[in-house]
Amino acid sequence: MKIKLVSVHVDDQEKALQFYTDVLGFTKKTDVSAGDYRWLTVVSPEEPDGAELVLEPNDNPAARSYQQALFEQSIPAVVFYTSDLQRDHDRLAGKGVTFTVPPTTEARGAMAILDDTCGNLVQLTQLPGEG
């Protein structure tokens, strides 16, 4: 088995697509109309055939409640790995991204948490010895 798709619920698919591509730097992989919604995925440009992040509408009340609860408890909805946390933090902060937790060193490496503007917190993690 391997991971191919992971969903993150967003309050606006177009806004999420712009944030995840124009700001974070992911690449749009799939964009197919599905009634009132879109089957919308992004991938890392470093792994274009790797796992896809589905930008899933949060119109389901259970999804919206789950998303809001995670956000209110400061729990990231998704974690991305980076080989240079400080570089990515500085680049994203320069684009106006709000970080709820600045780069912080921990026993497991370094991490920072940002607000994706679509209802989620996103953790960036750099493993020890990387970078």
- For each of the domains in the chain, give its residue range(s) and CATH number, in order of start: 5-126 (3.10.180.10)
Burial (CB < 10 A; 0-12, 13-18, 19+), residue 66, is: middle
| Token pair listed for 16 | 């999420």
- Over residues 53-69, mean pLDDT: 95
pTM score above 0.85: yes
Query: Mind listing the pLDDT tens digit for each residue in 11-55?
Result: 999 999 999 999 999 999 999 998 888 999 999 999 999 999 999
Contact (Cβ atoms closer than 8 angstroms) between residue 12 and residue 39: no
Average pLDDT of the chain to the nearest whole number: 95
Burial (CB < 10 A; 0-12, 13-18, 19+), residue 94, is: exposed
Q: Would you place residue 68 in the very low, low, confident or very high pLDDT band (cuts 50, 70, 90)?
A: very high
Contact (Cβ atoms closer than 8 angstroms) between residue 23 and residue 122: no
